[in-house]
Chains A and B, each alone.
Chain A
Amino acid sequence: AQKVTQAQTEISVVEKEDVTLDCVYETRDTTYYLFWYKQPPSGELVFLIRRNSFDEQNEISGRYSWNFQKSTSSFNFTITASQVVDSAVYFCALSEAMGNTGKLIFGQGTTLQVKP
């Protein structure tokens, strides 16, 4: 069965600190896709990154970086030098290739509060 676990419910940091959001997933499919979405206080879901299961290269985009490790079924997200505008709920999500329906399974989300 597919499952995404974000064990950290809430994280609070002070601006300029680095913060890592954890994501662990379960799937029996050998081909799958992992995503991170940001949900700011305004409520919309903003796409951050998509990773397929065959691409374990870490990725950096500005202050954001992602560490994908198949051996531990983890896809962690790090924000470097956090800013108040990073305050949001962050969701990790999984989509399996089998059936190709695109269904996204979301984790519970991690609420990040960045204090000035």
Chain B
Amino acid sequence: EPEVTQTPSHQVTQMGQEVILRCVPISNHLYFYWYRQILGQKVEFLVSFYNNEISEKSEIFDDQFSVERPDGSNFTLKIRSTKLEDSAMYFCASSESGAETQYFGPGTRLLVL
């Protein structure tokens, strides 16, 4: 069964460093998303991406964040200068359309020291 994959599973970084989180969505899906979940809290929407552009972003998704689909399979989230409060689990998801079910990857746990 097709699934969303994410790498790395864990990442530890120093405050101020750049990180890139990688995702491979399900191959026939056209909509891609990033969410984050701070430990013990709810899942929060960051950004949705369709047709090579951002279709919606949340207030959390400020200028420090960017997304890219560098080739036909990968979808990346970059955090330019990490802060302590960026420590969270980051989930990638994909769906066939904006109305269809989103399937989530296993997440990348980011720890900023």
Contact = CB atoms under 8 A, between A and B. Distances in A.
Interface of A: 33, 35, 37, 43-47, 50, 52, 91, 93, 95, 97, 99-109
Interface of B: 31, 33, 35, 41-45, 48, 50, 55-56, 58, 89, 91, 93, 95, 97-107, 109
B106 A43 contact: yes
A102 B49 CA distance: 9
A102 to B, nearest CB: 4
Nearest to A105: B45
Contacts of B97: 100, 102
A53 to B, nearest CB: 11
A108 B42 contact: yes
Contacts of A35: 101-102
Given A104-B45, A106-B43, A107-B42, A43 B89 contact: yes
Given A43-B106, A43-B107, A103 B42 contact: no
B20 to A, nearest CB: 21
A100 B43 contact: no
A95 B99 contact: yes
B102 A102 contact: yes
A17 B100 CA distance: 33
B26 to A, nearest CB: 12
Given A101-B55, A101-B56, A44 B106 contact: yes
